[in-house]
Amino acid sequence: MRRYLLPTVLVLALLATAGWGFYQRNQSREYHTYLDLQFQRQFYELIGHVENAQVDLSKAMVSGSSKDMTKYLYDTLQQAYLAQEKLTQLPFHHSTIRKTEKFLNQLGDYSTAMANKSIEGITLTESEFGTLKELQSYANLLSRELIEMQQEVVSGGVNFGDLRREGNRDLNRVDEQMKNFRLISIEERMQEYPELIYDGPFSEHIKDIKPRLEGKEVTSDEAITMAGEALRDQRVQNIRLVGEIENTRLNGYYLRATQGNGNGEEVSMAVSKIGGRIIWFLNPRDIEESQLDKKEAQRIAEDFLQQQGYKDMVPTYTMAAEGQMVVNFAYKQADVIVYSDLIKVKVALDNGEIIGMETEGYLTTHHKRDIKEPQLSEEDAREKLNSAVEVEYGRLALIPNSGNKEILTYEFKVKFGEDHYLVYIDAESGEQRRILLMIQQEDGTLVI
């Protein structure tokens, strides 16, 4: 009897393992299919959205009134946005689809810019119409290629679930697959479409903006000396060069240093090559219990900026969290707040030390502006506000629009119900340019 024990146990174990393996295999196949089908669904939807975008765009161009045109342009935006969203969640490597993604984003963005124009009653120019036509023909091309790809998917040539797995192992091989897969050729065709310049966040001109910062170029040694002087009161010592920041709008030196209280805390910063100004500074030390109130902290931040040689900066909003407070400053020229020229200062609430600074906005955009007299008086602008809101104050502010041009507006802080808003009324045309909702939290005021 005893000698059957071992074989029996082994056979049982084998059966159990086999059963378990079978179950696992089935389960993984189910997941695989599920994933594949999800990706296929997204792919179908992608095609649908591209087609719709193309059709809506053509309808916009045919529309007789600017009202109808605006409507179809907004539809184009929505469809392009959805298409882009579907495409980015398919398992393709970024390098194979980035041109297509960019095309979809710009298609939506350009449509919005044109819609905004026609909503204000501005007729589109000949060349803007030309661009729309061109975009439409590219959208048409994209949808045709995608449909052909879909045929391949249906005929079983492509399995998204597989692609996903391959992608995990080796992205180069996915790229190989992609070549048979038409996406590469779509990408190549997309390369040819023209550079678009318009009032929108994805316009080409934005990345070409030159910084306004002037001064002589400093060496790394000079940069270290200048940083040491600027942060002397923060007891920053032993500053050393870690690397250089290149190819950016604002090239600089990346430095690290120790903080002077001897426990080896490391801080880091970047100093611009032109002019030797601190671009950012970060001290990540642990913060003890708060000793300062927000007023004191704000005053410390103001004094620090003064000391750094930044004049005419006014605090615009503050936010405190985890024992530290970030104070945002904007430049004030005469009585106009210039929101592009932004500097942030971070104060530790335990001992009032400056533990962070960020000046990139200021350094890239700050210059003496030629601000025209507003066409509208503040009273006139106030008339444009919704009558249901309570106005707390109004002042002039220069704000960047989505295309990074600056427009002169009246900024009104208003109360509606429980919430506060900032409403910006164009000082020339009286159009409402932007609304921000202010969120009052226990830790500060957030503006979105």
In angstroms, give the least distance from the CB of 136 to another protein: 19
Q: What residues numbered 259-318 form the site for another protein, per CB under 8 A?
A: 266, 268, 270, 280, 282, 284, 289
Decide: is 248 part of the binding site for another protein (CB under 8 A). Answer: yes
Query: Torsion-angle region of residue 264: left (phi > 0), alpha (psi -120 to 50) or beta?
Result: left
Q: How far apart are CA 182 and CA 144, in angstroms?
A: 11
Read off the DSSP letter of residue 126: H
Residue 250 vs 408, nearer CB to another protein:
250
Part of the chain binding another protein (CB under 8 A), chosen from 1-9, 176-184, 365-373, 427-435: 1-9
Q: What residues numbered 415-434 form the site for another protein, per CB under 8 A?
A: 418-419
Alpha helices in 63-202 (DSSP H): 66-88, 94-119, 126-154, 160-169, 171-179, 183-190
**Pairing of the two strands 432-441 and 444-447:** antiparallel
Decide: is 243 part of the binding site for another protein (CB under 8 A). Answer: yes
Q: How far apart are CA 218 and CA 225, in angstroms?
A: 10
Judge contact between 393 and 421, C-beta under 8 A: no
Decide: is 18 part of the binding site for another protein (CB under 8 A). Answer: no
Judge contact between 317 and 282, C-beta under 8 A: no
Q: How far apart are CA 10 and CA 309, in angstroms?
A: 82
Q: How far apart are CA 193 and CA 179, in angstroms?
A: 21
Q: How far apart are CA 375 and CA 430, in angstroms?
A: 9
Residue 63 vs 78, nearer CB to another protein:
78
Residue 209's Cβ-count burial label (10 Å; 0-12, 13-18, 19+) is exposed
Decide: is 161 part of the binding site for another protein (CB under 8 A). Answer: no
Decide: is 90 part of the binding site for another protein (CB under 8 A). Answer: yes
Residue 5 vs 388, nearer CB to another protein:
5
Q: How far apart are CA 19 and CA 434, in angstroms?
A: 64
Residue 88 vs 333, nearer CB to another protein:
88
Q: Which of 120, 170, 233, 303 binds another protein (CB under 8 A)?
A: 170
Q: What residues numbered 320-339 form the site for another protein, per CB under 8 A?
A: 321-322, 326
The CA angle 388-391-394, to the nearest 5 degrees, is 140
Residue 9 vs 62, nearer CB to another protein:
9
In angstroms, give the least distance from the CB of 441 to another protein: 5
> 282 forms bridges with which residues in the sheet?
268, 356
Q: Which of 106, 136, 234, 316 binds another protein (CB under 8 A)?
A: 106
Decide: is 84 part of the binding site for another protein (CB under 8 A). Answer: yes
Decide: is 6 part of the binding site for another protein (CB under 8 A). Answer: yes
Q: Which of 130, 157, 201, 215 binds another protein (CB under 8 A)?
A: 201
> 412 forms bridges with which residues in the sheet?
394, 423
Decide: is 258 part of the binding site for another protein (CB under 8 A). Answer: no
Is the CA virtual torsion 288, 290, 292, 298 positive or negative?
positive
Decide: is 192 part of the binding site for another protein (CB under 8 A). Answer: no
In angstroms, give the least distance from the CB of 64 to another protein: 32
The residue type of 413 is K
Q: What residues numbered 47-76 form the site for another protein, per CB under 8 A?
A: none
Q: Phi and psi at residue 325, in whole multiples of 5°?
A: -125, 130
Residue 122 vs 439, nearer CB to another protein:
439
Q: Which of 65, 247, 263, 387 binds another protein (CB under 8 A)?
A: 247
Q: Phi and psi at residue 109, in whole multiples of 5°?
A: -65, -45
Q: Which of 134, 188, 221, 244 binds another protein (CB under 8 A)?
A: 244
| Residues that contact another protein, how many (by CB under 8 A) | 77
Decide: is 126 part of the binding site for another protein (CB under 8 A). Answer: no
Part of the chain binding another protein (CB under 8 A), chosen from 48-56, 150-158, 252-260, 398-406: 252-260
Buried/exposed code over 140-171 (b: 16+ C-beta within 10 A; e: otherwise): bbbbebbeebbeebeeeebbbbebbebbeeee
In angstroms, give the least distance from the CB of 167 to another protein: 5
Residue 67 vs 415, nearer CB to another protein:
415
Task: Give residue 73's Cα distance to chain centre.
Answer: 23
Part of the chain binding another protein (CB under 8 A), chosen from 10-18, 43-51, 216-224, 385-393: 10-18
> 419 forms bridges with which residues in the sheet?
416
In angstroms, give the least distance from the CB of 133 to another protein: 21
DSSP letter string, 194-250: PP--SSSTT-GGGGGPPP---S-B--HHHHHHHHHHHTGGGTEEEEEEEEEE-SSSS
Residue 339 vs 410, nearer CB to another protein:
339
Decide: is 249 part of the binding site for another protein (CB under 8 A). Answer: yes
Decide: is 27 part of the binding site for another protein (CB under 8 A). Answer: no
In angstroms, give the least distance from the CB of 279 to another protein: 8
Decide: is 361 part of the binding site for another protein (CB under 8 A). Answer: yes
